[in-house]
Copies of this chain bind each other. A is one copy, B any other.
Amino acid sequence: MVGGGTDAFIGAIHRLAALMDNQIELVCGCFSVNPEISLSSGLSYYLPESRVYATYNEMFAKEVLLPEGERMDFVTIVTPNFAHFEPAMMALDNGFHVVVDKPITFTLDEALKLKEKINATGLTLALTHTYSGYPAVKEAKTRVSRGDFGKIRKVYVEYPQGWLSTKQEDAGNAQASWRTDPKRSGKAGCMGDIGTHAHHLAEYITGLKTVELCAELNVFVPGRMLDDDGAALLRFENGAKGVLMATQIAAGEENSLKIRVYGEKGGLEWHQHEPNTLLVKWSDKPTEIVRVGNGYMGDIAKHNTRTPGGHPEGYLEAFANIYRNFSLVVRAGMNGQTPKAEWLDFPTVEDGIRGMQFIDAVVKAGYDDTTKWVKF
């Protein structure tokens, strides 16, 4: 693991998600740019001192020398965006598979380079677009793709949060500090952090690519350097239209990602706050409350569910689904087996590239009052 010291947020989530299915062990790490924090973190995670490294350069250099079966199999990168590319590339160069937080890199160009390297090495990269890991989201994708609703016409995806309603970056909130800093986050704030999740979800469920957008980005909190709010009108490749809303200044909202998709005959609705429920709507009959864990769910949803209906699974299990599928694919590769189709259902470098393209387009459109539509 690169990053994820005891003073960090997302690293702890990754560890929970990786460990719960008894498929992955934490064997080594460089948990901080501060070697002392790295060491104390590693020890608190029950690692031997010898496997806690001061830099990731050292980690890759030493791990690669360990005998197979003892050295790590893959690395997880949970640093701020600006520090994704270098360790990811170094991992690939040393033959390690990679799990990396989104957005995949600081720039689109870096993402394209990672793709080249992956193509060249045949290694596996998973991108933690967590929300596509929920079984109800996978069921939504299944139902859209098999044509239940006819041709898709309309997508509403919204992601309101409220935690940046005030200037948290000046109040000692470490995550707010780097999220709002263009040197560490990149050219987008809210759109990079959560707009990319919303965009990914829309493309994932519909199986359709967006081809053009019209957008406005806003900075509501005075002195902030990156967008904390924005909305975009979307055009999809098949003629469907969408609206994407992402904000971090909706005071009083938690993490209220929601998507609605409508086709000719019906539609569906999913809300991350009640992730085990998928509403399926019809023109001529009652809305159905489709619930994770029931016998009527599709195979892909079932493969990504651990408990029977009424035993709520949550964010950590969605996260763990990415790790579990990634580990199944990596282990299949190590054993010379062909992975099953449902194991391959996790975000990869391609999704990372789409995210970087979305960021480029939405930032270009977002502050320009004269250009209405930006292609991407």
Interface residues of A in 148-194 (CB under 8 A from B): 149, 153-154, 156, 158, 160-162, 165-166
Is A300's beta carbon under 8 Å from chain B? no
A311's partner among B46, B265, B266, B314 (CB-CB below 8 A) is: B314
Q: Which partner residue on chain B sits nearest A230 by CB separation?
A: B241
Q: Distance in Å from the Cβ of A65 to the closest Cβ of chain B?
A: 24
Whether A293 contacts B13 by the Cβ 8 Å rule is: no
Whether B315 contacts A153 by the Cβ 8 Å rule is: no
Chain B residues near A263: list those with CB within 8 A: 251
Whether B311 contacts A255 by the Cβ 8 Å rule is: yes
CA distance A280 to B289 in the complex (A): 10
A283's partner among B165, B245, B276 (CB-CB below 8 A) is: B165
Chain B residues near A266: list those with CB within 8 A: 251-252
Q: Distance in Å from the Cβ of A245 to the closest Cβ of chain B?
A: 6
CA distance A26 to B154 in the complex (A): 44
Interface residues of A in 235-281 (CB under 8 A from B): 241, 243, 245, 247, 249-256, 260, 262-267, 272-276, 279-281
CA distance A191 to B267 in the complex (A): 21
A310's partner among B46, B273, B276, B308 (CB-CB below 8 A) is: B273
Whether B256 contacts A262 by the Cβ 8 Å rule is: no
Is A336's beta carbon under 8 Å from chain B? no
- Tell me the A residues contacting B by CB distance below 8 Å: 9, 12-13, 15-16, 19-22, 26, 45-46, 149, 153-154, 156, 158, 160-162, 165-166, 214, 216, 218, 220, 229, 231, 233, 241, 243, 245, 247, 249-256, 260, 262-267, 272-276, 279-291, 293-296, 306-317, 368-373
Contact A256:B296 (CB < 8 A) given known A20-B316, A243-B231: no
Whether A287 contacts B288 by the Cβ 8 Å rule is: yes
Whether B306 contacts A12 by the Cβ 8 Å rule is: yes
CA distance A272 to B314 in the complex (A): 13
| Number of copies of this protein chain within its complex | 4
Contact A264:B312 (CB < 8 A) given known A254-B291, A372-B369: no
Contact A286:B282 (CB < 8 A) given known A251-B149, A267-B250: no
Chain B residues near A253: list those with CB within 8 A: 262, 267, 281, 310
Whether A316 contacts B317 by the Cβ 8 Å rule is: yes
A229's partner among B154, B272, B279, B371 (CB-CB below 8 A) is: B154
Besides A153-B229, A316-B317, 5 other A-B contacts (C-beta < 8 A): A166-B283, A243-B245, A255-B311, A274-B312, A312-B312
Chain B residues near A313: list those with CB within 8 A: 314-316
Whether A46 contacts B19 by the Cβ 8 Å rule is: no
Chain B residues near A46: list those with CB within 8 A: 22
Chain B residues near A26: list those with CB within 8 A: 22
Q: Which partner residue on chain B sits nearest A307 by CB separation?
A: B315
A231's partner among B233, B287, B310 (CB-CB below 8 A) is: B233
